[in-house]
Amino acid sequence: MSDCELHVISSGKLAWKDMAAIAAQIHPYVTAIHIREKTKPMDEVFMGVQYLLEKGVPAQTLCINGYSWMAEAAGLGGLHLPESSLELPTIRESYQSVHRTGVSVHSVEEAVKREREGADYVLYGHIFATNSKFGVQPRGLEQLRKVAEQVTIPVIAIGGITPARVRSVLAAGASGIAVMSGIWEAADPLETVKAYNRELQLEETRGERYEAYE
Residues with a known catalytic role = 126
Residue type, position 185, single letter: E
- Cα–Cα distance for residue pair 196/117, rounded to 1 Å: 31
- C-alpha distances (whole Å) from 155 to each of 91, 103, 104, 170, 173 are 21, 10, 10, 10, 8
- Cα–Cα distance for residue pair 101/31, rounded to 1 Å: 13
Give residues with Cβ within 8 angstroms of 106, minimum separation 6.
83, 124, 125, 139
- Cα–Cα distance for residue pair 81/124, rounded to 1 Å: 12
- Cα–Cα distance for residue pair 137/156, rounded to 1 Å: 19
